Amino acid sequence: MSPAGQGTGTADPTAGPWTVLRVIRTGAEWLQERGVESARLDTEHLLAHALGTDRLQLYLQYDRPLTPDELGSFRPLLRRRGGREPLQYITGRAAFRELDLTVDPRVLIPRPETEVLVQVVLDAVAGGADLTALDVGTGSGCIGLSLLVEGPFRRVLGTDPSADALAVARANADALGSAADGFEVRRGGGFDPLAPDETFDVIVSNPPYVADGEAAGLQPEVRDWEPAGALFAGAQGLDVLDVLAASAAKHLRPGGWLALEVGPGQASTLKTRLDGSGRFASCAIHRDLSGRPRIVAARTA
């Protein structure tokens, strides 16, 4: 029997008890056969989750045989990952900068490049105080909540057309207690949830930016599990970014910042549109941790 509880033929039934190390090794092999990247790391995370411990603790008990109950808790988790369900949806948790967030299929799993987007904003507003921010398409709330926790912000409004996403963002804010005082949510797309004269010091967004035709090329974890409304934005993937670029300036105070995460190949298009609007005094492209141009930040005069 495999660590997933199915006969895969990969595990040697004469190899003795299912110790922590044996479960990790054979579980990782089983996931790898199913095309899972980071198979070993994910197996460790899932086993730690099943045992109610952390990964480092596993290393201290490699030779310990698992009890039938422990194996019974772990096996369904491994099977889910083998079906290409994202690790974070299985554990229900996602790490983002200083936050440990609740996530489930109602929201996109926060990405490392979005951590850089937050850093770009924090660097831009360093030295400020009592600022306000609008986080368009807040999803799990990862951007807006990070700004409140780490930056000089007194109020952040997170918007999203998805009521389901807003429920997750609200839960994440509530879990942070007083650190997230000042976080509000409002439902709607683009700038629809705002009053015409409502302005902010910062508008930040990681909107949907995948072209509709690119669905087939996505990893199963993304295509089959993450919300389509968080991913796709028209033929070029620019439908939401275009709305934000066209109307952000009128919702920014003088000297305010617009910071957008964009898809691969979209940064120079966005910069051209923002420069061409005549509403911004400066506009720069920033790179993510892999050196790809994925963030566009512009400042009003």
Binding site for ligand SAM (CB under 6 A): 108, 110, 114, 136-140, 142-143, 160-162, 165, 189-190, 206-208, 229-230, 240
Distance CA 289, CA 125 (A): 21
Task: Pick the closer one to ligand SAM by CB: 4 or 118.
Answer: 118
Lookup: tokens for 239? 């439908």
Nearer to ligand SAM, 247 or 277 (CB): 247
φ and ψ at residue 185, rounded to 5 degrees = -125, 150
Q: State the Cα–Cα distance between residues 61 and 77, nearest whole angstrom.
A: 20
Q: Which residue lies nearer to ligand SAM by CB, 65 or 220?
A: 220
Q: In the complex, what is the shortest distance from the CB of residue 228 to ligand SAM, in angstroms, rounded to a whole number?
A: 9
Q: For residues 182 and 189, which CB has a smaller minimum distance to ligand SAM in the complex?
A: 189
Indicate the residue among 17 and 188 with the shorter CB distance to ligand SAM. 188
Least separation in angstroms between residue 208's CB and ligand SAM is 5
CB of 12 to ligand SAM, least distance (A): 42
Choose between 240 and 297: whose C-beta lies nearer to ligand SAM. Answer: 240
**Rounded Cα gap, residues 237 and 158, in angstroms:** 22
Contact by Cβ (8 Å): 96, 115: yes
- 122, 151 contact by CB (below 8 A): yes
Q: How far apart are CA 169 and CA 160, in angstroms?
A: 10
Residue 31 or 230 with smaller CB distance to ligand SAM: 230
Q: Which residues, other chains included, contact 177 with Cβ-Cβ below 8 Å and sequence gap of 6+?
A: none
Measured N-to-C along each axis, helices 163-176 and 142-150 cross at an angle, to the nearest 10 degrees, of: 30
Give CA–CA dist 297/267, Å, rounded: 10
Q: H-type helices in the chain, by residue range? A: 20-33, 39-51, 55-59, 68-82, 87-91, 112-125, 142-150, 163-176, 220-223, 239-247, 267-277
- Cβ proximity to ligand SAM: between 162 and 300 the closer is 162
> What's the min distance (Å) between Cβ of 168 and ligand SAM?
9
The least CB distance from residue 28 to ligand SAM, in Å, is 28
CB of 32 to ligand SAM, least distance (A): 27
Please give the Cα distance from 120 to 137 (Å, whole number). Answer: 18
Q: How far is the CB of 205 from ligand SAM (least distance, A)?
A: 7
Angle ∠(298,181,152) on CA atoms, nearest 5:
40
Least Å distance between CB 132 and ligand SAM? Answer: 17
